[in-house]
Amino acid sequence: MYENLLYAVISTIDESTNFKCAAVSDEISQDFEKLNLDSETKKLFQQHWFSENAEVGPTIYSAENVFQAEKENNYLKNGIIEIGYCPNGDEIFLRVSDSAVLYWSHDDAESDWYDKEETALFMAYSRVEYLLVNICNRNFVPWDSYSAREYFDLYGGK
C-alpha cells in the first residue's frame, strides 16, 4: 500500500467528511493479527480504517465489522476480505494480493451465495486507495456490481 498517500487520505476523510478513521481496540487489533493477511493490510484495518460503517451509497464496513464478516464467512481462503455491501445485496471485497476493490454480483453467481467464484467478481478500483480518495472527495462510489463494471471501464480503476 502507499503509506504516505493512505495517511493523507485518511486524515482528509476525517477533516472533510462525517466519517472517522481510527485505530481499533487492542482486542480487535489482536484479532486481525490472527488473520492470514500481509502486514500492510493488517495495519490498514488496525490503524487506518473506518471506526463506524461509512454510508457512501454502498456501506463500507468499520474495521470491527470487516473482522466480523471474515470470522463468519472465511473469504480469506479465496484471497479476498469483505469490506462492505451494496443496497441490492452485492458485496464489496478487497483482494489481498493487490489491494484491488471488487464487487460481487449475486446476479452473475453460478453457485451458492457464500462461494464467491471469480466469474461473479468485478473490479471497481485497482487499489483500495482510489476508493478512499473518492470517499474523501465525496465522489461517486458504485452502488452495485453493474455500476462498478461501468465505473471501471470509464475510469480504468481509479
> Average pLDDT for residues 51-70, to the nearest whole number?
97
What residues make up the domain containing 90? Answer: 3-155
**Banded model confidence at residue 123, pLDDT cuts 50, 70, 90:** very high
CATH at 83: 3.40.1580.10
Q: Is the pLDDT of residue 116 over 60?
A: no
Q: Is the pLDDT of residue 137 over 80?
A: yes
Q: How many domains does the chain have?
A: 1
Q: Which long-range contacts (CB under 8 A, 24 or more apart) does 94-102 make?
A: 94/41, 94/128, 96/37, 96/38, 96/41, 98/126, 98/127, 99/1, 99/41, 99/127, 99/128, 99/129, 100/125, 100/126, 100/127, 100/128, 100/157, 101/125, 101/127, 101/128, 101/130, 101/131
**Banded model confidence at residue 112, pLDDT cuts 50, 70, 90:** low
> Average pLDDT for residues 57-69, to the nearest whole number?
97
Query: What is the pTM assigned to this prediction?
Result: 0.92
> Average pLDDT for residues 1-13, to the nearest whole number?
86
> Average pLDDT for residues 126-149, to the nearest whole number?
95
